């Protein structure tokens, strides 16, 4: 947080200080916020610190021509909140670093921060610092989020055991469908028409995903999950991470994948398979987690009480089994390897 003097656009710096001060909120846990060499915060007694960071680069993770600065900021914050949620932890403090090219309008930077902070405000996350720089080469955004969790209690990727049920929160594929609607809007409607409600729902799920922080805290506190990850790369990729970390295999029951009616309608229109969207779609920011067989009933009961949508979509198998899908007709196939393209 040293305040480096840059060789250009030094007039940006008062703007950022103004932005950071505008978005700074008091908290009894913050001993020193923005404006010293470093921020100083209290960690609740006996808690572990949980840290995640993301670097977002123009032309790779976002494109200012097709996404609004507010949406870029919102989604950047939500991606980090989702990582903390996947650890079953409470997100608390945010650091924002930003490299700003000369061509960017001040209003766009304001909007980016508004987006970032609107995601954080939902979870009482406080801005405590960051760094700013000019950039000769496009906009870069780096976010670090600090969460906390009671000592000895965190959800990891590596705890899945053979026989565990595989669950997800919410519905899958909506964000990818929303992204396709935003970027392929000149594509012909191949099937039935999509209602405005469905279209708006899918685009909203892409633009404003919700990190499953409450669900993560519940899974951690209840000790019902044996492993967890957030779905940022898509079910197909992220399940692979859990299985690699846990040294197990898995089978996914395609008929059980939770797919919204809007996503089904979109898949119908595109004459595509909604299951494929659900497997490949990234940035849903739902949680994927595993549950020991003896706890599955208890988990489902607690989820109903709390009004959390959770769906069992498969089972952990021995490693030699690999990763498979099973269709409603019983056809088995290897889980596809997909690479989600985070670009809007």
Query: Please, which residue, 14 or 330, has the CB nearer to a copy of itself?
Result: 14
24 near a copy of itself, rule: CB under 8 A: no
User: Which tokens is 32 given?
Assistant: 């020193």
Residues 165-194 that bind a copy of itself (CB under 8 A): none
| Closest CB 286 distance from a copy of itself, rounded Å | 13
Helix axes 106-121, 12-23, angle to 10 degrees: 20
Cβ atoms of 161 and 249 within 8 Å: the answer is: no
Backbone angles phi, psi at 71, to 5 degrees: -70, -40
Query: Please, which residue, 1 or 326, has the CB nearer to a copy of itself?
Result: 1
| Closest CB 328 distance from a copy of itself, rounded Å | 29
Q: What is the DSSP string of 100-113?
A: EETTS-HHHHHHHH
Residues 239-298 that bind a copy of itself (CB under 8 A): 241, 245, 282
Residues 55-74 that bind a copy of itself (CB under 8 A): 55-61
Query: Please, which residue, 21 or 193, has the CB nearer to a copy of itself?
Result: 21
Query: Please, which residue, 223 or 297, has the CB nearer to a copy of itself?
Result: 223
Cβ atoms of 184 and 153 within 8 Å: the answer is: no
Query: Site for a copy of itself (CB under 8 A): which residue of 17, 118, 156, 208?
Result: 156
Query: Please, which residue, 234 or 314, has the CB nearer to a copy of itself?
Result: 234
Cβ atoms of 164 and 249 within 8 Å: the answer is: no
Residues 225-244 that bind a copy of itself (CB under 8 A): 228-230, 232-233, 237, 241
Classify 57 as helix, strand or coil: strand
Query: Site for a copy of itself (CB under 8 A): which residue of 40, 102, 255, 333?
Result: 40
In Å, how far are 21, 30, 36, 75, 255 from 126, measured between CA atoms? 11, 9, 16, 17, 41
Interface with a copy of itself by CB under 8 A: which range of 65-73, 124-132, 247-255, 315-323? 124-132
CB atoms within 10 A of CB 177: 32
Residues 304-323 that bind a copy of itself (CB under 8 A): none
The strand ranges marked E within 102-185 are 126-135, 140-150, 165-169
Query: Please, which residue, 45 or 107, has the CB nearer to a copy of itself?
Result: 45
Count of residues near a copy of itself by CB under 8 A: 85
Cβ atoms of 146 and 49 within 8 Å: the answer is: yes
21 near a copy of itself, rule: CB under 8 A: no
């Amino acid at each position: 947080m040293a305040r480096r003097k840059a060789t250009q656009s030094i007039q940006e710096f008062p703007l950022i200080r103004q932005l950071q001060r505008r978005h700074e909120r008091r908290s009894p846990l913050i001993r020193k916020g923005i404006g010293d060499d470093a921020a100083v915060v209290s960690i609740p007694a006996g808690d572990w610190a949980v840290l995640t960071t993301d670097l977002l680069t123009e032309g790779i993770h976002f494109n200012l021509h097709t996404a609004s600065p507010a949406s870029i900021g919102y989604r950047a914050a939500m991606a980090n909140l989702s990582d903390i949620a996947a650890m079953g932890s409470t997100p608390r403090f945010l650091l924002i670093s930003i490299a700003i090219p000369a061509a960017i309008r001040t209003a766009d930077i304001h909007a980016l921060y508004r987006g970032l902070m609107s995601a954080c405000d939902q979870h009482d996350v406080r801005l405590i610092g960051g760094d700013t720089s000019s950039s000769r080469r496009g906009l870069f955004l780096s976010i670090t989020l600090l969460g906390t969790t009671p000592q000895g209690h965190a959800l990891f990727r590596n705890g899945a055991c053979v026989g565990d049920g595989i669950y997800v929160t919410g519905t899958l594929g909506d964000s990818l469908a929303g992204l396709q609607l935003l970027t392929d809007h000149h594509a012909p409607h191949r099937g039935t028409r999509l209602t405005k409600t469905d279209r708006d729902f899918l685009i909203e799920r892409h633009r404003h995903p919700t990190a499953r922080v409450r669900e993560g805290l519940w899974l951690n506190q209840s000790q019902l999950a044996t492993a967890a990850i957030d779905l940022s790369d898509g079910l197909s990729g992220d399940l692979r991470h859990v299985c690699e970390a846990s040294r197990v295999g898995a089978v996914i029951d395609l008929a059980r994948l939770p797919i919204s009616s809007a996503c089904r309608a979109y898949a119908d229109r595109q004459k595509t398979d909604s299951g494929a969207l659900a497997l490949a779609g990234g940035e849903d920011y739902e949680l994927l987690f595993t549950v020991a067989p003896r706890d599955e009933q208890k988990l489902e009961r607690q989820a109903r009480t709390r009004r959390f949508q959770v769906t069992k979509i498969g089972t952990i198998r021995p490693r030699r089994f690999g990763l498979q899908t099973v269709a409603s007709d019983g056809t088995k196939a290897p889980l596809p390897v997909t690479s989600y393209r985070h670009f809007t």
